[in-house]
Amino acid sequence: MIRVLGIETSCDETAASVVALDGVAAPEILSNIVLSQIEEHAAFGGVVPEIAARAHVEALDGIVEAALADSAVSLDEVDAVAATAGPGLVGGLIVGLMTAKAIAAAANKPLIAVNHLEGHALTARLTDGLDFPYLLLLVSGGHTQIVAVRGVGDYQRWATTIDDALGEAFDKTAKMLGLPYPGGPNVEKAAVSGDAGRFVFPRPMKGSAQPDFSFSGLKTAVRQAATAIAPLSDQDVADICASFQAAVADALGDRVARALARFRQEFPDTARPALVVAGGVAANRTIKGTLEALCSEAGFAFVAPPQKLCTDNAAMIAWAGIERLRAGMAGENAADFVPRSRWPLDSVSAPLVGSGRRGAKA
């Protein structure tokens, strides 16, 4: 039996979880506590790093206590403590990692510094028991990447955004249209009653030999369309949202189709190839429908973990800790690990401009 306490504070969720693995049995999430900061940031239309860090400081101790209580596992019974150490907002990372260091030192437990993106990359093994290798599409507020997941600690980035992350494009589109934060769910909600054919927005990078994503041009087209017909009625907003969402789904489908074909070529012996979709944007039903149809046509399994495990959470961090413990990759110097605002999952591929938080990040 392996039990790991996970802590996640990379952005605007304060989270703690206990996950257990007993031999060959399926892993079990014993607790998964997530405290959202949406209300604190809503008035600003986005996450304010200083407010986020302060909220983590105020809440984290209680969240950890609640996770241990819900799991009915004492700190003495935990085998290790895993915490997100990057990438993300450095103030929040400091709070989570320093708290984890203190807990691990006081309880004499190993500390595992986890890459937040690795948590997303390995979640499908927690929820669906997926075997390596598989393809990951990570679409969130800070990241848009296609990654070949070949093993624990073995990741190859095949595509990333050259400007905005997709979640950021959703949030900025919502802000332009006067929709509340967070933008993604509200754009999707407005699009339900919209006409997706009213506005013909560009499909960035569609047909390009370059495998990467781009969303800044699409965002500009939305702004120009909205300005041209201002003031906007509710129906105008709905139509713009529906047209924007259709363009995003079409562009994603084109990029992912190229990746599926490449996966077939590079891993021809994979009996059950799979595409895993993770990140907050993965909840969008139009995008999911497009990708499910694409996978069905290409003979890939489509795997989308439950929404509560696609957005930021600590269960994925605890599970990544278990994976690293089993692989003998927990890290000998985690107690000295310094939080990293930038931490590429694939350390070999060259960084590209973009990914939603800084000007040059993998």
- Residue 38: predicted pLDDT: 85
- Residue 350: predicted pLDDT: 67
CA–CA dist 319, 17 (Å, integer):
9
Is the pLDDT at 24 greater than 90? The verdict is no
116 neighbors 255 (Cβ within 8 angstroms): no
**Span 101-117, average pLDDT:** 96
CA–CA dist 110, 127 (Å, integer):
25
Where exactly does CATH 3.30.420.40 map onto the chain? 2-125+308-336, 131-306
Q: What angle do CA 234, 227, 246 make, to 5 degrees?
A: 60
Tell me the helix, strand and coil percentages in the chain, rounded to 5: 45, 20, 35
Model confidence pLDDT, tens digit, residues 43-57? 888 889 999 999 999
Task: Give the model's confidence band at 352: pLDDT under 50 very low, under 70 low, under 90 confident, else very high.
Answer: low
CA distance to 9, 62, 140, 338, 349, per residue, from 85 (Å): 9, 20, 18, 7, 20
Domain covering 131-306 in this structure, CATH number: 3.30.420.40
Is the pLDDT at 362 greater than 60? The verdict is no
pTM: 0.92
CA–CA dist 226, 232 (Å, integer):
7
Is the pLDDT at 105 greater than 60? The verdict is yes
- Residue 65: predicted pLDDT: 98
Superfamily of domain 2-125+308-336: ATPase, nucleotide binding domain (3.30.420.40)
The three-state secondary structure class of 38 is helix
Q: 321-351: b or e for each residue (b if 16 or more CB lie within 10 Å)?
A: bbbbbeeeebeeebeebebbbebbbbeebee
Q: What is the DSSP letter of 225?
A: H
**For the chain, how many helices (H) and strands (E)?**
11, 10
- Residue 360: predicted pLDDT: 35
Q: Which residues contact 236 (CB under 8 A, 6 or more apart)?
A: 226, 229
Pairing of strands 2-8, 13-21: antiparallel
